[in-house]
Amino acid sequence: MGQQRARRLAWGLWLLGFVLNVAGGAWYAGAVKDGFSPFTVVITLVYLSFLTVGVLIMAHIPRHPIGWIFCVIGINFGLNNLLNSYAERAIDSPNGLPGGAIAAWFGWLWIINLFLLGTYLLQFFPTGRLPSPRWRPLAWLTGVGIFIVWFAEYFAPGQLPDFERENPFGIAAARDLLAVADVIGLVLTALCALLSVASVVVRFRHAQQIERQQIKWFAFAVSLLLPYMIFASQVELAPTDYGFALVIALTPASVGLAILRYRLYEIDRIINRTLVYSLLSAILVGADLLLIATIEQLFQPIASGSDLVVAGSTLAVAAFIQPLRRRIQSTVDRRFYRHKYDATRTLEAFSARLRDEIDLATLTTELQATVIETMQPEHVSLWLRDGLSKGLSG
């Protein structure tokens, strides 16, 4: 497919997905009993981000499967909302609008999104190819597992999910067989998802510098998603809060930045700052709570529940923010970014020698050695002007 044709197709799909998502979101907001909510707009924008990133990837790299996967996810969500909205109105309508059960049957499409994100996204990220030909059976098994689950769920007899209607395409004679197939498909798909994660680890171990940076972007988004899901399950948050939408939106954002290589090397700085400020926040909050509890324990009942104690302890802890941040930054650089830490120390040592050294030849040699040690270039050249013009190469 040519570049121009791919771009026209990509933006045509974006327009289709945009119409489906806007129409589906608006109709869904009017169809559900709770009515319109800002979260409906937010989650619609999240899925439009999948669609937009997918279109951008398709426009620049037409053969990249992740562009198509993201487009399917974005279009799928809008179509799902549109069909579910029609099903809600048709089933609840006193006039009996036709096709309500069929729309509900077709509208149960969100499960495909989960399968695509948990398997094929991992297998093909970031190059658009499997890590090696040995992983091809995994791609085929993934497709088989997804198809088995889809068939078993969609043709199982009984009530449709979220609707008080019987499945119009349920196969009653194959009830037991479909139940067994559903279990087999789910187990197979779960196994494929675990192997997909393993493929990312294997890819990272054998990757070159650019590919490693791309994988870091994706790993950073996942590293924020998993703690949030654990936290949400502990405090019993419903998956209809804005934090959920934000962490989901990180997936297309990180994947788009990685594949299109936009500010690719910024990820090391982002991870570094995240580690530093996460540790700093945790230590400061812990110290603040410990200090408040200690003061209240020592000076009961005078200090118990006092706002003055809380303010005083917060100010005391705040005084240690900068020294503690520098200490944590140094520890993180030393433990996780050793090359950067060593380079910084080398530059500091060179700066100290620069203040005392006056011999030009010695400075030239030390400058070249410092550049080679910190930046590791293939070639270093230095030109001196004002009568001293000569090239020194190393």
26 found inside a domain:
yes
Q: Do 82 and 148 fall within a single domain?
A: yes
What pLDDT does residue 390 have?
Answer: 46
Helix (H, G, I), strand (E, B), or coil: what is residue 367? helix
Long-range contacts of 323-331 (CB under 8 A, 24+ apart): 324/280, 324/283, 324/284, 325/276, 325/277, 325/280, 328/276, 328/279, 328/280, 328/283, 329/276
Report the C-alpha gap between 304 and 295 in whole angstroms: 8
Q: Do 124 and 32 fall within a single domain?
A: yes
The tens place of each residue's pLDDT in the chain, 394 residues long, gives: 666 777 788 888 888 888 888 887 777 666 555 555 677 777 788 888 888 888 888 888 888 899 889 988 888 888 888 887 787 777 766 666 677 778 878 766 777 888 888 899 999 988 889 999 999 999 999 999 999 998 988 888 887 776 777 788 888 888 899 999 999 999 999 999 999 999 999 998 888 878 888 888 888 777 776 666 666 555 555 555 677 777 788 888 888 888 887 665 555 666 566 666 666 666 767 776 677 677 666 666 655 556 666 666 667 766 766 777 777 667 766 665 555 545 556 666 666 666 665 666 666 666 666 665 555 555 667 666 665 444 444 4
383 found inside a domain:
no
378 found inside a domain:
no
Report the 10 Å Cβ neighbour count for 313: 20
Phi and psi at 37, nearest 5°, equal -140, 150
Q: Do 59 and 163 fall within a single domain?
A: yes
Is residue 156 a contact partner of residue 178, using CB atoms and an 8 Å limit?
yes
pTM comes to: 0.66
Q: Is 164 exposed, middle or buried (0-12, 13-18, 19+ CB in 10 A)?
A: exposed
Domains in the chain, number: 2
Q: Do 64 and 211 fall within a single domain?
A: yes
Q: Do 260 and 278 fall within a single domain?
A: no
- The overall longest dimension of the chain from CA atoms, in Å, is 96
What pLDDT does residue 187 have?
Answer: 94
Domain range for 99 is 3-266
Q: Do 261 and 272 fall within a single domain?
A: no
Q: Do 33 and 178 fall within a single domain?
A: yes
Q: Do 13 and 138 fall within a single domain?
A: yes
Name the region of 167 (left: φ>0; alpha: ψ -120 to 50; beta: rest).
beta
Give Rg (Cα) of the chain: 29
What pLDDT does residue 392 have?
Answer: 43
Q: Do 113 and 205 fall within a single domain?
A: yes
Report the 10 Å Cβ neighbour count for 71: 24
Q: Do 186 and 330 fall within a single domain?
A: no
Q: Do 220 and 295 fall within a single domain?
A: no
Q: Do 189 and 159 fall within a single domain?
A: yes
